Amino acid sequence: MDRPIRVLMAKAGLDGHDRGVKVVARALRDAGMEVIYTGLHNTPEQVVTAALQEDVDVIGVSILSGAHLTIFRKITELMKQYGMTDVLLLGGGIIPDEDKPILEQMGVKGLFGPGTSTQEIIEFIKKEVQKLRG
């Protein structure tokens, strides 16, 4: 891969739990990726617009408020609307097992809950982005 992987890390919704998103952002940066962190309290529109403007390969959204179904539904709809089929959408936070298939069906390609190692996320992104870039 010539171009470094570009990642947008975002906190969507109202919760301020940003420990995880910041740890992951730093780990991805240390792994050589270009990371843009949006900060807190973003609407789905803001997340998707930022991803378009920054021309990223990956969007990582962290939600720990329980609003993941509502927020990911809006994000995936907007991504479809803008034809962002080559962007990898990932989620992090507290997401009950029974919600995972629903989110995957919407188009969230990877979900990383508490206790996930940053190494696992890095490897997942590298593998999936390679596939998308063909």
Q: Does 52 bind other proteins (CB under 8 A)?
A: no
Cβ atoms of 71 and 61 closer than 8 Å: yes
DSSP-assigned beta bridge partners for residue 34: 6
Q: How many other C-beta atoms are found inside a 10 Å radius of the C-beta of residue 127?
A: 9
- Given candidates 13, 60, 91, 110, which one binds other proteins under the rule CB under 8 A? 13
Task: Write the DSSP symbol of residue 12.
Answer: B
60 lines the binding site for other proteins (CB under 8 A) = no
Least CB distance from residue 78 to other proteins, whole Å? 14
Residues that bind other proteins (rule: CB under 8 A) add up to a total of 36
CB of 8 to other proteins, least distance (A): 13
Q: Of residues 50, 69, 78, 102, which one binds other proteins by CB under 8 A?
A: 69
| CB nearer other proteins, residue 20 or residue 107 | 20
Q: How far is the CB of 4 from other proteins (least distance, A)?
A: 17
Distance CA 73, CA 13 (A): 13
Among residues 123, 30, 132, the alpha carbon closest in space to that of 89 is found at 132
Give residue for tokens 């470094």: 4
With a CB cutoff of 8 Å and minimum separation 6, the contacts of 120 are 112
**Interface ranges with other proteins (CB under 8 A):** 13-19, 22-23, 25-27, 29, 35, 37-41, 43, 65-67, 69-71, 94, 96-98, 113-115, 117-119
